[in-house]
Amino acid sequence: MPSISKKGALMPESPIRKLVPYAEAAKKSGKTVYHLNIGQPDIKSPVVAMDAVMVHSLKTLAYTQSEGSLEYRTKIANYYHQNDIYVDPSEIIVTTGGSEALYFAFGSIMDVDDEIIIPEPFYANYNGFSTASGVNVVPVISSIDDNFALPPIEEFEKLITPKTKAILICNPGNPTGYLYSKEELLKLKELILKHDLFLIADEVYREFVYDGNVHHSVLSIDGIEQNTIMIDSVSKRYSMCGARIGCLVTKNKEVIQTALKFAQARLSPPTFAQIASEAALRTPQSYFDEVKEEYLKRRNLLITELQKIEGVKVATPKGAFYCIVELPVEDTDDFAKWLLESFEIDNETVMVAPAAGFYSTPGSGKKEVRIAYVIQQEGLKKAVNIIKEGLKVYNG
Amino acid sequence: MPSISKKGALMPESPIRKLVPYAEAAKKSGKTVYHLNIGQPDIKSPVVAMDAVMVHSLKTLAYTQSEGSLEYRTKIANYYHQNDIYVDPSEIIVTTGGSEALYFAFGSIMDVDDEIIIPEPFYANYNGFSTASGVNVVPVISSIDDNFALPPIEEFEKLITPKTKAILICNPGNPTGYLYSKEELLKLKELILKHDLFLIADEVYREFVYDGNVHHSVLSIDGIEQNTIMIDSVSKRYSMCGARIGCLVTKNKEVIQTALKFAQARLSPPTFAQIASEAALRTPQSYFDEVKEEYLKRRNLLITELQKIEGVKVATPKGAFYCIVELPVEDTDDFAKWLLESFEIDNETVMVAPAAGFYSTPGSGKKEVRIAYVIQQEGLKKAVNIIKEGLKVYNG
């Protein structure tokens, strides 16, 4: 029997997946499970987007342009202009989700054994894309004690080798909820210019910024136009995770031309999803206001309730809809499993994502979990109470 | 300015793309261009599939399962049963087009510098997936003189090295239209068992088989269950190229588990497209009968008309909707460009795909073009006449 690839053997399993059988068993036994573990919001997608697909007039579901239609890219560019990001449609490639945009970016700028520095904890699938591309992730550690702010630039510099090709940030961050300041981005600017690196910024949570903070795109920083690649997606913005439409944006023409070759090899992004995504650009501001208001209420409730629990440390998220929480346990993998298997209040329990999967440094994050505030406030309150009471029982 | 990757620089441009600017210029100058160059059929998609999307009742466009929903995979398995392919839903991973299925297959079984043997000419994007995966394509030459039949097994054996991991066939073939016989597949069976290789079969044209021939899937060959990976797609079957839904099918559990990790990293295939593809499985047989009848008429017309041209050699396709044609010119790249730039009959001209892009052996296929019979018979007849008259003028 022929064997699988080394790369395939190394591909990480989703850190959320590991607990799925336990959640399924809990449900089978009649328990309600509050899912704080996933980035799938319960928020409704914009009606204008969902309706656009219902009135499609296609007779043949044909390929679109590999880079996405000029019309759609023009509209995306216009959306960026409204967000103080000045790009041309030719600087955009429409992709099958932000995932594919990352894959194109990695392939366009890195070869096997090249290195990418990523502040950790980070979105777990960055590990998967790196392994699939044969690229090594070099983590630079950010800490819950300063809210997961940008690590000191000296820490980055210590890690730079001739193999280092890029730095990757997620802003606002999944799983941290951290929002990088303009000053932090300017520090990164100096660093990447000094070492001639690419800076990839995953900005899919751009709209979800709280407390009057402002999001700064890497594309709005002058002087690093040739170094920056921005990753975007409709998944979170419009609660359209299942569309699988994202884009790669860069002013570096060589990168665009290279990414386009990857795009051509896979022919085109999905057509129906592009119809929905193009229509989604007509979503009224009131939609975002309401959604943001809802997330803000959830965040405030979540943080307030978590802070009431003894021994719990929580980094207050400034953006996105996640937070990293340190629990008074030695191994959140075990605690998360225990919650599903052995604990309930009124026949209800909780699924959280153990944070070790968001670190690549072995042994890190073992006391932390990621909580996604993607469920309604009532459920969220009950869920935090289950964690609180669960901790008491678990810790004897 | 940081530089792009070596891999990115090596990524091939689509062989069809190179001529696009000439086609655009021709259209701008007022000419009608018959597109015989692309695999985008003019055939309508099944109404049942297009309607299913119009009546969707989703409020939130959520992620689906990474491997596709159990319901959809169960229905796909049922479709396979009807085609004498006995697989279980757990042996199927739903992908974003056949393209992604190939990418998952390559990643699951091959590492950088591994080798894959492919009978050439072959679907040009196999080069792109190989380059993206760092895998080397080793072509084994098939010839227009015997209709692009399977090359002798000795020719394969000469090419096998310790780096060889797989053989890839497209059956029926793009760009050749060749349909492998059961005997040929049995020869491949012996070869892959002897050398412990994987056999990947791209069977997306399964339905398009003419002259009473029968398609044999690699999954229907006993004794190589652990060696075979089948690639499929709804693109051609239902003329739904823009859906971007395909699948990877294998009875090798290790491969499925590995491919699943690649699938998890990119989250899920597109939701709307899965709705359309699931509904497409209810397409009545009359749809396929009509479509096949239409393609058969086109093929017969095309071959008959081409054979009337002096100096033209054509391999009669037994399946799919392409054929490779040898023209009495030295360089079809130049001839194809010339047709678009400098030739017309009644202000109409033709775009063909120079076949060099379907070969990886340098200098091969320079006298050949690929013709896709994806336009109506009237246009097809005119297009062949343009080639005929064009050849006279071009050859002085």
User: In a structure prediction context, what are the per-residue pLDDT tens digits for chain A, which is 396 residues long?
Assistant: 899 999 999 999 887 788 999 999 999 999 999 999 987 788 999 999 999 999 999 999 999 999 999 999 999 999 999 999 999 999 999 999 999 999 999 999 999 999 999 999 999 999 999 999 999 999 999 999 999 999 999 999 999 999 999 999 999 999 999 999 999 999 999 999 999 999 999 999 999 999 999 999 999 999 999 999 999 999 999 999 999 999 999 999 999 999 999 999 999 999 999 999 999 999 999 999 999 999 999 999 999 999 999 999 998 999 999 999 999 999 999 999 999 999 999 999 999 999 999 998 999 999 999 999 999 999 999 999 999 999 999 998
Give the helix ranges, DSSP H, for chain A.
6-10, 20-28, 47-54, 70-82, 97-109, 125-133, 153-159, 182-195, 253-265, 271-280, 285-307, 332-342, 377-394
Q: Are residues A238 and A267 in the same domain?
A: yes
Query: What ipTM does the predicted assembly reach?
Result: 0.96
- Number of A:B CB contacts under 8 A? 261
Contacts of A111 in chain B (CB under 8 A): 5-7, 134
How many Å apart are CA A37 and CA A349, to the nearest integer?
Answer: 12
- Selecting from A7, A54, A196 the residue whose C-beta is nearest the C-beta of B56 gives A54
Q: Report if residue A354 sits inside a domain.
A: yes
Contacts of A125 in chain B (CB under 8 A): 264-267
Q: Domain ends where: A231, A254, A280?
A: A280
Q: Are residues A141 and A247 in the same domain?
A: yes
**Domain range holding B154?**
48-280
Q: Domain ends where: B233, B262, B280?
A: B280
Q: Considering all CA atoms of chain B, what is the largest pairwise distance in Å, rounded to the nearest integer?
A: 64
As for how many domains chain A has, the answer is: 2
CB contact under 8 A, B272 and A270: yes
Q: How far is A122 from chain B (nearest CA, A)?
A: 14
CB contact under 8 A, A1 and B227: yes
Q: Are residues A203 and A315 in the same domain?
A: no
CB contact under 8 A, B267 and A243: no
CB contact under 8 A, B134 and A134: yes
Q: Are residues A55 and A18 in the same domain?
A: no
Q: pLDDT tens digits for B202-254?
A: 999 999 999 999 999 999 999 999 999 999 999 999 999 999 999 999 999 99
How many Å apart are CA B105 and CA B97, to the nearest integer?
Answer: 13
- Selecting from A5, A45, A55 the residue whose C-beta is nearest the C-beta of B61 gives A45
CB contact under 8 A, B5 and A111: yes
CB contact under 8 A, A50 and B40: no
Q: Are residues B133 and B13 in the same domain?
A: no
Angle between helices B377-394 and B285-307 (to 10 degrees): 20
Q: Are residues A117 and A130 in the same domain?
A: yes
Side by side, which strands form the sheet with A115-120?
A92-95, A246-249, A228-233, A198-202, A164-170, A115-120, A136-141
Q: Are residues B260 and B320 in the same domain?
A: no
Q: Are residues A266 and A122 in the same domain?
A: yes
Q: How far is A53 from chain B (nearest CA, A)?
A: 6
CB contact under 8 A, A128 and B265: yes
Q: Report if residue A305 sits inside a domain.
A: yes
CB contact under 8 A, B242 and A268: yes
CATH number, domain containing residue A57: 3.40.640.10
How many Å apart are CA A94 and CA A65, to the nearest integer?
Answer: 9
Q: Report if residue B259 sits inside a domain.
A: yes
Q: Report if residue B297 sits inside a domain.
A: yes
In order of A34, A40, A388, the CA distances from A26 in angstroms are 11, 20, 19
- Nearest residue on chain B to A58, alpha-carbon basis: B50
How many Å apart are CA B111 and CA B100, to the nearest integer?
Answer: 17
Q: Report if residue B200 sits inside a domain.
A: yes
Probe site for chain B from A5, A14, A192, A274 (most B CB atoms < 10 A): A5
CB contact under 8 A, B60 and A96: no
Residue indicated by tokens 């239409």: B294
Angle between helices B125-133 and B97-109 (to 10 degrees): 40
- Selecting from B17, B97, B261 the residue whose C-beta is nearest the C-beta of A264 gives B17
- Return all residues near A57 (Cβ < 8 A) that are at least 6 apart: none
Would you list the DSSP string of B239-292? T-TTT--EEEE-S-HHHHHHHHHHHHHT----HHHHHHHHHHTT--HHHHHHHH
Q: Report if residue A1 sits inside a domain.
A: no
Angle between helices A70-82 and A271-280 (to 10 degrees): 30
Q: Report if residue B1 sits inside a domain.
A: no
Backbone phi and psi for residue A287, each to the nearest 5 degrees, phi listed first: -60, -50
Backbone phi and psi for residue A137, each to the nearest 5 degrees, phi listed first: -80, 130
Probe site for chain A from B1, B61, B96 (most A CB atoms < 10 A): B61
Q: Domain ends where: A255, A280, A305?
A: A280
Q: Which helix (H) or strand (E) holds B182?
A: helix B182-195
Side by side, which strands form the sheet with A353-354?
A313-314, A322-326, A368-372, A353-354
How many Å apart are CA B14 and CA B358, to the nearest integer?
Answer: 10
Q: Report if residue B116 sits inside a domain.
A: yes
Residue indicated by tokens 């990523």: A118
Probe site for chain A from B1, B6, B7 (most A CB atoms < 10 A): B7
**Which residue type is seen at B349?**
T
Contact, A349 vs A340, CB < 8 A? yes
Contacts of A240 in chain B (CB under 8 A): 61
Q: Are residues A204 and A260 in the same domain?
A: yes
How many Å apart are CA B187 and CA A102, to the nearest integer?
Answer: 41
Backbone phi and psi for residue A394, each to the nearest 5 degrees, phi listed first: -60, -40
First to last CA, chain B: 50
- Selecting from B61, B64, B99 the residue whose C-beta is nearest the C-beta of A266 gives B99
Token pair of B31, please? 């000419």
CA proximity to B58, closest of B271, B358, B256: B271
Q: Are residues A77 and A145 in the same domain?
A: yes
CATH number, domain containing residue B357: 3.90.1150.10
Q: Are residues B207 and B226 in the same domain?
A: yes
CB contact under 8 A, A40 and B63: yes
CB contact under 8 A, B53 and A50: no
CB contact under 8 A, A242 and B59: no
Please state the length of chain A.
396
Q: Are residues A111 and A167 in the same domain?
A: yes
